[in-house]
Structure 1
């Protein structure tokens, strides 16, 4: 289970939580412009936009979970198990395997508009990367500073939705998630007024009661509502440090703690990492479950005209600043 969000102050920010019971060995990965991307059905792409994101690298191939490109477009894949149904390979379409969908879009899209044009020509197919890594059931958020869309491939075809809240979690499908926000239209950042009955002298007894009824459980529908509310009301200054800090607070509202979501006996889903990308500057910030200090990787400190991946293993141990 995961949560993704967008945020905008002076710059545009994009990121996600990755919630799971174990890690595949994730690394912040910079793919430069001349890295030869081998696509299963679409051949080799030798020149393209550079990408930075979180990936599991297998045999020098980056399997991206999320990332941004040098043009400011962000994309993330989130679990969509039970609803994701991929298409069949077709001779008259551009066939893109699920595992290469993120690089297919980010290597050649300078905007969400260009990404939509690519989506109009492609089939999203379920060909696995290899026998040990079968296709994952996912849906995706694609965003730039102007807008966001959600992409879902289901039994009745490929769906592309405008995403006005800039948030994505997991099931149910995106249209249903948006509809369920109607349940919370009475919520507010302000203190509530008594509309229950003018005959009763009801009063607020605590701060924050305007958001009374905002869900706090770990289900994907509740996380969607919680992050949508938090993001839509979040206020930050224009500076980088305060913008990044606020973004981590937005996604921190749905952190998963070990012990609260059991997926098998003795196994618990946790927030393995939280990312925040400054898509305008090409900086990938992250924290991990056991490391709350923000770590940053700047793609522009790499040779973006090179041909080799740059890999940064995650800092996972807690960093404590002693002051005495």
Structure 2
């Protein structure tokens, strides 16, 4: 399970929490413009936009969990089990496997409008990366540096592309149902509540924060969707990059999963393996991990983006303690 957001205080920040019970040895991976992207059913992309994100380097092929390109378009794949459907190869369509979807879009599109034009021709084909690496059942959040975002879901009745007015995505149910569910929380507020119960009953504001008392706090995807949307829209903004990045990670960490709270099997618990975000305006990538809450930075602009070889950085997972005495 996962949570993804676009946050737009001044510049625009896009990224996600990756919540799973196992880790895959993922890295920060920069794919430069001349890396030769090969696709199973489509022509190769020998030249494309450079991109940075978190990926599994599978024998020299970047299997991106999430990424953003140099033009400020970001994309993340989130778990969508029971609903996600991949299709047979279709004539006259751009047949792209789910694991190829992120580089196919980010390699060629600079904006949401350009992505929508490409999406109109795409068929997400039911193709596995290998016999041992079966395609994950996903849906996707895509955002550009205007703060505009869309959701792509491939259901049994076909592909749906939804405009996303809240800039958030978690997992099941389908996105329109998640959006509709926000109606149940219209009374949640950062302010102290007014007494609408009765003017004949005196209410005691016995605690601060009572306006958010009905905000859901579960690990489930529906609760996280409501909570991250509320926290995002009520977050402070600043002109400072450091302050905005710090706030961005507070928003994501407000829905992170602690080990021991979401049991998915015998002695197996889902947890937030990493949180990441990229400044879509500047191409600066940030991340934290479950055991290292220091915000780590990789600036794609400092690399040779005209090269043809993947650039990788191991994620920093060792906790750091700052001893003051």
Q: TM-score range by the shorter chain?
A: over 0.9
What do residues 109-133 of structure 1 show as CA deviations (whole Å, max 9, x unaligned)?
Answer: 1101000000001101120011111
Given that residues 49 and 70 in structure 1 are in contact (C-alpha distance below 8 angstroms), is that contact kept between their aligned partners in structure 2?
yes
Give the C-alpha shift of residue 10 in structure 1.
2.0
Given that residues 73 and 109 in structure 2 are in contact (C-alpha distance below 8 angstroms), is that contact kept between their aligned partners in structure 1?
yes
The equivalent of 1:92 in structure 2 is: 92
The equivalent of 1:161 in structure 2 is: 162
Give the C-alpha shift of residue 204 in structure 1.
1.3
Given that residues 194 and 203 in structure 1 are in contact (C-alpha distance below 8 angstroms), is that contact kept between their aligned partners in structure 2?
no
Say if 2:201 is the partner of 1:190.
no
SS of 2:219's equivalent in the other structure is coil
The equivalent of 1:118 in structure 2 is: 118
SS of 1:45's equivalent in the other structure is coil
* CA RMSD after TM alignment: 0.7
- Output the CA distance in 1 between the equivalents of 2:282 and 2:63: 23
Say if 2:5 is the partner of 1:8.
no
- Output the CA distance in 1 between the equivalents of 2:109 and 2:143: 11
SS of 2:205's equivalent in the other structure is coil
Say if 2:261 is the partner of 1:235.
no
After superposition, residues 218-229 of structure 1 pair within 5 angstroms as: 218-229=219-230
Q: TM-score, normalised by structure 2?
A: 0.99
Given that residues 10 and 237 in structure 2 are in contact (C-alpha distance below 8 angstroms), is that contact kept between their aligned partners in structure 1?
no
SS of 2:76's equivalent in the other structure is strand
What do residues 170-215 of structure 1 show as CA deviations (whole Å, max 9, x unaligned)?
Answer: 0000000001000001111111110111110112111111112000
What do residues 195-254 of structure 1 show as CA deviations (whole Å, max 9, x unaligned)?
Answer: 111110112111111112000010000000000000011112121100100000001111
The equivalent of 1:127 in structure 2 is: 127
Give the C-alpha shift of residue 150 in structure 1.
0.2
Structure 1 unaligned residues grouped into runs of 5+: none
Structure 2 unaligned residues grouped into runs of 5+: none
- Output the CA distance in 2 between the equivalents of 1:268 and 1:246: 27
Question: What is the number of residues matched between the two proteins?
Answer: 324
Give the C-alpha shift of residue 105 in structure 1.
0.4
Give the C-alpha shift of residue 145 in structure 1.
2.7
- Output the CA distance in 2 between the equivalents of 1:190 and 1:14: 27
After superposition, residues 240-251 of structure 1 pair within 5 angstroms as: 240-251=241-252
Following TM superposition, the consecutive aligned residue runs of length 4 or more in structure 1 with deviations greater than 3 angstroms are none
Say if 2:284 is the partner of 1:290.
no
- Output the CA distance in 2 between the equivalents of 1:209 and 1:37: 52
- Output the CA distance in 2 between the equivalents of 1:265 and 1:255: 21
SS of 1:203's equivalent in the other structure is coil
Say if 2:267 is the partner of 1:266.
yes
Say if 2:39 is the partner of 1:55.
no
The equivalent of 1:313 in structure 2 is: 314
What do residues 1-42 of structure 1 show as CA deviations (whole Å, max 9, x unaligned)?
Answer: 000001012211001000001111110000000000001111
Given that residues 112 and 149 in structure 2 are in contact (C-alpha distance below 8 angstroms), is that contact kept between their aligned partners in structure 1?
yes
